[in-house]
Amino acid sequence: MKAFIKATALACVIIAYNNFYLAFRLDTNSDEAAESIIIELEKEEIKDEAAESIIIELEKEEIKDEAAESIIIELEKEEIKDEAAESIIIELEKEETNSVESYDSVLYERQLHEALTPLPESQSKTGFYTKQFMAGLCNQYGRFVGTILLARTTNGFDQIINESINWKDTYGTDTTIHTSKLWDLVHWNSFYPMLPRFVRYEKETHKDLISAPSSFKIDGKNYTHPTVKYNVSEGHNIWNSSLSISPPPFGQFPNQGENQYRQLTTSINNVRAKYDLKLSLKMYETILKGALRPHPFLQAIVDQTASKFGGLNDEGYMVIHMRVEPDMNKQRNCGDKKVWYVDNITDMVYKQYPKPPVQTVLLVFARALIEAMEIDAKKSERGLSHHQKVNRHNLNEINDLLDNGMWGGKVKVVEAGSAIVEEAGNPFYKYYSNIAGGIVNFFLAIQSKILVGTEVSTWSTLSINTRFYRGIKENYFYRPEGLHWVTPPNVTKPHKFVC
């Protein structure tokens, strides 16, 4: 949907002794906003008591998700004479589009537009990633870290085309979503030059790329996924280093990013990274210490939920990763490290903490997978299999915890993730609530007072390792013999995932 509106001489100039105010109200149209808004205020010489002309031009292009993709405000101000104002204040007021506070989408999109502006190639070499992330959130997280390492340490890139790196909503819509929609790239780019910057595709600069946007609908509304791809003549091999291509590609072979990540984590475990992979190690630590944080909309959900769980007196909250879904119980690897039953896990927690250490416990688990097996079990005419019996037991235990709490009902037990993303009221993130909810749960775990997980899970391992680099030490793995403290004060390196 495209619209072009021009308004000339649409303004009111109030000249007071010291100030000249112009207020323009921007309506985001119930969670949708223009992908690009250009506001130009061309101000000619102000004479005695009023402005001679003000031109406000708005260009509204493809309507996108929750906020404007970019906002450029240019103020061209000529000399203001004696009786005119000394300042111009422009307020862009956005109608509240959701229940999430502390997030100004208009302001952020303006900042994002500025942050994604490419630096000249003479200063920073730009690369275009050619592969696609797969699997679950934490596997993609590892591939992302590896891809960043691949860009900088192997290829020498200082900038990465934003549109070239997409995440996959694997267990939700099974479609891709831009890095800039899930993560705060304004914050990320502030870590340049330690980390490569993300920059937007620009036609005049990146001459061998072409925009190939795709559109889709959410609740009957049009959204655009601004895909970019190579556009070269037939027979032109983009991987031929003797041929010029702008920007050059990286990620030629499958799993290069994943391999970079595994090489680094293995080197860290062997205490060789600080000697052999100094730059990679520093980049990795920078990312886990906070360079990669959720998109401001999702971060606002994390912060508000964490505050709510912690209580008025800031008693804090615990996260327990209940990795007892059917897919895990069917896997044979690392069976000696698995705990199969929810009540066995909670018994370990009670033993470690006889008295309530927190106000709230957040359970992290894939309800959809557990309930899907229970639905199949109810349809079965041949009796329950062992896995179905275990699954039903765990589902009942989880529901009982949610209904009755822990420590005799003194501590409330909740689940979050996709549900609280959907409740936030933003159609775009509601559509992608599976991966967005996974990110929310992951960062709630990072910010928790106590984290209990399992070493057979990449989710638990990555969240605990992130907390290790942030100096948060109360992290446990549940094992058949009981809780194991993963990060006591004498531990000097993160846990190596081996399952």
pLDDT computed for residue 445 by the predictor? 97
Strand 197-199 relative to strand 159-161, pairing:
parallel
Point out the domain boundary residue: 67, 97, 127. 97
Residue 372: give its domain's CATH number.
Answer: 3.40.50
Q: Smallest Cα–Cα separation from 162: which of 183, 143, 141? A: 183
Checking 232-237 for CB contacts under 8 A at 24+ apart, the result is 232/208
483, 460 in Cβ contact below 8 A? Answer: no
Task: With respect to residue 495, please indicate whether it lies within any of the assigned structural domains.
Answer: no
End of a domain among 263, 291, 319? 291
Instruction: Indicate whether 127 belongs to any domain.
Output: yes
What is the reported pLDDT for 55?
32
Clarify whether residues 282 and 307 are in a common domain.
no
Q: What does each of the 499 residues of the chain score in pLDDT, given as a tens digit?
A: 333 333 333 333 323 323 333 333 333 333 333 333 333 333 333 333 333 333 333 333 333 333 333 333 333 333 333 333 333 333 333 333 344 656 788 999 999 999 999 999 888 999 999 998 988 899 999 999 999 999 999 999 999 999 999 999 998 899 999 999 999 999 999 999 999 999 999 999 999 999 998 888 898 888 888 899 998 887 788 998 878 889 999 999 888 999 999 999 999 999 999 889 999 999 999 999 999 999 999 999 999 999 999 987 788 999 999 999 988 877 778 888 999 999 999 999 999 999 999 999 999 998 888 999 999 899 887 888 989 999 999 999 999 999 999 999 999 999 988 889 999 989 999 999 999 999 999 999 999 999 999 999 999 999 999 999 999 999 999 999 999 999 999 999 999 998 8
Nearest to 152 by CA among 121, 114, 124: 124
**E strand intervals along 137-282:** 159-161, 166-168, 176-178, 197-199, 209-211, 214-218, 221-225, 228-230, 249-250
- The alpha carbon of residue 421 and the mean position of all alpha carbons in its chain are separated, in whole angstroms, by 12
**CA distances from residue 273 to 268, 282, 287, 401, 423 in whole angstroms, order as listed:** 5, 9, 16, 43, 43
The verdict on residue 282 lying in a domain is: yes
Among 227, 257, 291, the domain-final residue is: 291
Q: Is residue 368 part of a domain?
A: yes
Largest CA distance in the chain: 92
Residue 497: inside a domain, yes or no? no
Same domain, 322 and 468: yes
Backbone φ, ψ for residue 38 (5° rounding): -115, 120
Residues 399, 418, single domain; the answer is: yes
Distance, CA of 489 to CA of 476 (rounded, Å)? 13
**Exposure b/e, 358-371, CB count within 10 A at least 16 = b:** bbbbbbbbbbebbe
Give 30-77 pLDDT, tens digit per residue.
333 333 333 333 333 333 333 333 333 333 333 333 333 333 333 333
Residues 373 and 234 in one domain: no
Q: Specify whether 48 is located in the same domain as 167.
A: no
CB-based contacts of 385: which residues, under 8 Å, 6+ apart? none
The strand pairing partners of 230, in sequence order, are 209
The Cα–Cα gap between 365 and 367 comes to 6
Spell out where 307-433 has E strands: 317-321, 360-364, 412-415
Residue 496 lies in a domain: no
Q: Beta strands 126-129 and 54-60: pairing type?
A: unpaired
Considering the domain architecture, whether residues 436 and 399 belong to the same structural domain is answered as yes
Structure-token pair, residue 11: 């303004």
**Domain shared by 386 and 447, yes or no:** yes
CA 426 – CA 430 distance, rounded (Å)? 6
Residues 400 and 316 in one domain: yes
Query: What domain count does the chain have?
Result: 3
Residues 367 and 458 in one domain: yes
User: What do you get for the CA distance between the two ends of the chain, in Å?
Assistant: 49
Residue-level pLDDT at 102:
62
The predicted structure's pLDDT at residue 344: 97
Kindly state whether residue 198 falls inside one of the protein's structural domains. Answer: yes
- Whether 79 contacts 45, CB under 8 Å: yes
Task: Please give the residue range of the domain that contains residue 144.
Answer: 115-291
Let me know whether 459 and 316 are in one domain. yes
Q: CA of 126: how far to CAs of 13, 159, 177, 246, 282, in Å?
A: 45, 4, 21, 8, 21
Residues sharing a CB contact under 8 Å with residue 354, sequence separation 6 or more, in sequence order: none
28 and 79 fall within a common domain: yes
CB neighbour list of residue 489: distance below 8 Å, 6 or more residues apart: 473
Same domain, 64 and 159: no
| The residue type at 226 | P
pLDDT at 85: 37
